Amino acid sequence: MTTKRFIPVAAPVLNGNEKAYVMDCLDSTWISSSGKYIERFEQNFAGFCAVKHAAACCNGTVALHLALMALGVKPKDEVIVPTLTFVSTANAVVYCGARPVFVDSEPDTWNMNPNLIEAKITPRTKGIIVVHLYGHPVDMDTVMSIARRHKLFVIEDAAEAHGAEYKGRRIGSLADIATFSFYGNKIITTGEGGMVVTNDDSLITKVRQLKGQGMDPNTRYWFPVVGYNYRMTNVAAAIGLAQLERVQWHIDRRREVARWYYESLKDNPALILPVEKEWAKNVYWMFTVVLHDDVTKNRDQVMKELAAEGIETRPVFYPMHTLPPYTRLSRGQRFPVADRLGSRGMNLPTWAGLKREEVAFISGVVKECVGGPAL
């Protein structure tokens, strides 16, 4: 019996020094939250982002939580976030007792629409979290101008955009503080893991204290504040360091995969493809396509048909305002762009190990499912 091929939506590629560094951790017994790989990973990642400081933590969600706490977010504060994002962006705000305030998307980049931000600012607004969605940078100059005018902080949620660039500058270096995720499907991975980066000496000091149970950095076992155990292990950092050594390869491969999809799907009238603005470098965490409004077939049905051919996909994120914990926060408001993207968008397999013939196969099946010229 012939086994049907299966193409996952994402998979890590561990083709560097990952095994050697992990074995070094095991041989040395430095496997917990101290060790040379944590220090090296933090230092090298700060250099990669062109910032002064980086603090490793156990995942991308807690990286956001640490950033918000370091910035002083308290109960009853409001933080502006995109409605089209992964739920962790909103959840981290709620962890602080604050209220996420949602903003609709741009129709082309799918990022939060900067032109809609000022209308959401109130006397309770403390700051803005931008999300570089699916690897495309946000229009940061516009966002930062609004923030400075209203004396608000800005956090870059860069979980999906390692190495993306805005006007020649790496994301992570463009706001007050930035956070990254190293989950297994991200551009580089530690399995689970996160990072907080900033140029602000005071903020990084607070982040480091909070992630280590609140211990005083100069007095062991003295805890002047309530903190959290949000530390990364040396083993995870060893994997991350090995991944970071080959990060440009990972970025180049994803951009190549995206180019193959563009070549195969650009002339299909049924699909809207991701963009790359002239001021941006998109790193294509996921190659996302959106069904045109005149495509009568349901997005979820298309995904089922792709699954039947061994092609794994994911829906575009459900907008935050549609999720049960957050519907009451946005009652009476309209988010037409995010609603459309969330109901008609899907992520195709996107990872560094994909072969050209696999992308051709995926594209051909997509065309069969949605209509349009065959390959």
Same structural domain for residues 295 and 147?
Answer: no
Residues contacting 256, CB < 8 A, separation 6+? none
Same structural domain for residues 237 and 176?
Answer: yes
Gap between the Cα atoms of 253 and 102, Å rounded: 34
Identity of the residue numbered 172 = G
Q: Which domain holds residue 327?
A: 247-370
| pLDDT confidence of residue 321 | 97
Helix axes 60-70, 88-95, angle to 10 degrees: 40
144 — phi, psi (to 5°)? Answer: -65, -35
For the segment 60-84, the average pLDDT, to the nearest whole number, is: 98
- Closest Cα partner for 136 from 276, 315, 230, 35? 276
Same structural domain for residues 116 and 265?
Answer: no
Convert the pLDDT of each residue in 297-352 to its tens digit: 999 999 999 999 999 999 999 999 999 999 999 888 999 999 999 999 999 999 99
| pLDDT confidence of residue 144 | 98
| pLDDT confidence of residue 70 | 98
| pLDDT confidence of residue 294 | 87
Domain-embedded: residue 8: no
Confidence of residue 296 (pLDDT cuts 50, 70, 90): confident
| pLDDT confidence of residue 2 | 52
Same structural domain for residues 351 and 260?
Answer: yes
Domain-embedded: residue 351: yes
How far, in Å, are 12, 130, 156, 179, 187 from residue 175 at the CA level?
Answer: 29, 9, 6, 11, 21
Convert the pLDDT of each residue in 27-68 to its tens digit: 999 999 999 999 999 999 999 999 999 999 999 999 999 999
Convert the pLDDT of each residue in 139-151 to its tens digit: 999 999 999 999 9
Same structural domain for residues 54 and 127?
Answer: yes
Same structural domain for residues 237 and 251?
Answer: no
pTM: predicted TM-score of the whole model, two decimal places: 0.96
Same structural domain for residues 340 and 354?
Answer: yes
- Closest Cα partner for 167 from 279, 276, 277, 275? 279
Confidence of residue 287 (pLDDT cuts 50, 70, 90): very high
Gap between the Cα atoms of 234 and 31, Å rounded: 5
140 — phi, psi (to 5°)? Answer: -70, -35
Residue 157's beta-bridge partner residues?
A: 131, 179
pLDDT at residue 221 above 80?
yes
Convert the pLDDT of each residue in 205-214 to its tens digit: 999 999 999 9
